[in-house]
């Protein structure tokens, strides 16, 4: 960690800042908008739930999709704004993706923005621990699911829309020790660039947010399995919050990023740029 004195987090990092209508009138689909609390009684907010809540706070109608429908409903119950709906969709099942996109268009009136916030890391560490069935499962969710979501959503997305894929700094530097996870997250960059080319004529932008060490329930579970993770030096001196991932995605969805496409934004406290 940095030797700098720990500073209090701003309201945005705590999820307490008021909305400023940055997505007013937009219709946003968040894939993976529920939350896996990993059995924690007081789990910190996850990336998907934070994004769903924040986008609605900023004036968007939000479709919250998750394989766990109850969790998606729980997210919707926390939302205040122009409206939100819960959808059940398992991105490992191709037909679920088509239904998810169709239902979003029918129930919220269209799609102006899309966030793909789904990713799993399974299996034993290192190449020696990699198993073919686990490798295929990871790629089915992390990459194929993203590709099929973009395939279904691009034709019905409004001109000038924005797509954000949630990756990880594991796509940029080694660290997770799970080769399928690292490789699948890196593959999203290629998918992003291709989708960006397909969307450019209609002004549809495609970018990636790559979180680093985040203090979420999944992050805490990862630390429990690998305690050394908590000692990883972060230049800004702490792990990030789900809200900080959400604000990066909000920026890329908003008109503030109207001239940004095909880019990877690391939200990692300086880990990739300074270490």
Catalytic annotation, residues: 181
| Contact (Cβ atoms closer than 8 angstroms) between residue 62 and residue 148 | no
The CA–CA distances, whole Å, from 196 to 60, 117, 193, 209 equal 23, 18, 5, 15
| Contact (Cβ atoms closer than 8 angstroms) between residue 51 and residue 63 | no
Give the whole-angstrom CA distance, residue 258 versus residue 252.
8
What residues contact residue 15 under an 8 Å CB cut-off, 6+ apart? 45, 50, 53, 54, 241, 242, 243, 246
Give the whole-angstrom CA distance, residue 175 versus residue 259.
32
């Amino acid at each position: 960690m940095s030797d700098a004195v720990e500073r209090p987090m701003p309201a945005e990092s705590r999820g307490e800042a008021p909305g400023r209508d940055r997505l007013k009138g937009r219709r946003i689909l968040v894939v993976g908008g529920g939350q896996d609390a990993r059995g924690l009684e007081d789990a910190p907010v996850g990336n998907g739930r934070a994004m769903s809540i924040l986008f609605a706070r900023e004036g968007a109608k939000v479709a919250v999709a998750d394989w766990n429908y109850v969790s998606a409903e729980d997210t919707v119950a926390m939302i205040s704004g122009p409206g939100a709906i819960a959808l059940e969709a398992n991105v490992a099942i191709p037909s679920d993706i088509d239904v998810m996109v169709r239902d979003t268009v029918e129930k919220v009136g269209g799609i102006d923005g899309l966030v793909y916030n789904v990713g799993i890391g399974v299996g034993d560490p290192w190449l020696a621990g990699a198993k073919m069935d686990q490798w295929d499962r990871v790629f089915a969710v992390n990459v194929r699911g993203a590709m099929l979501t973009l395939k279904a959503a691009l034709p019905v997305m409004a001109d000038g829309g924005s797509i954000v894929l949630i990756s990880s700094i594991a796509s940029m530097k080694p660290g997770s020790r799970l080769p399928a996870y690292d490789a699948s997250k890196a593959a999203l960059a290629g998918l992003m660039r291709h989708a960006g080319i397909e969307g450019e004529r209609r002004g549809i932008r495609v970018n990636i947010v790559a979180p680093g060490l985040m203090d979420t329930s999944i992050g805490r579970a990862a630390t429990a399995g690998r305690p050394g993770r908590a000692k990883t030096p972060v230049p800004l001196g702490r792990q990030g919050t789900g809200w900080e991932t959400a604000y990066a995605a909000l920026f890329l969805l908003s008109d503030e990023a109207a001239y940004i496409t095909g880019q990877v934004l690391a939200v990692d406290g300086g880990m990739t740029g300074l270490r």
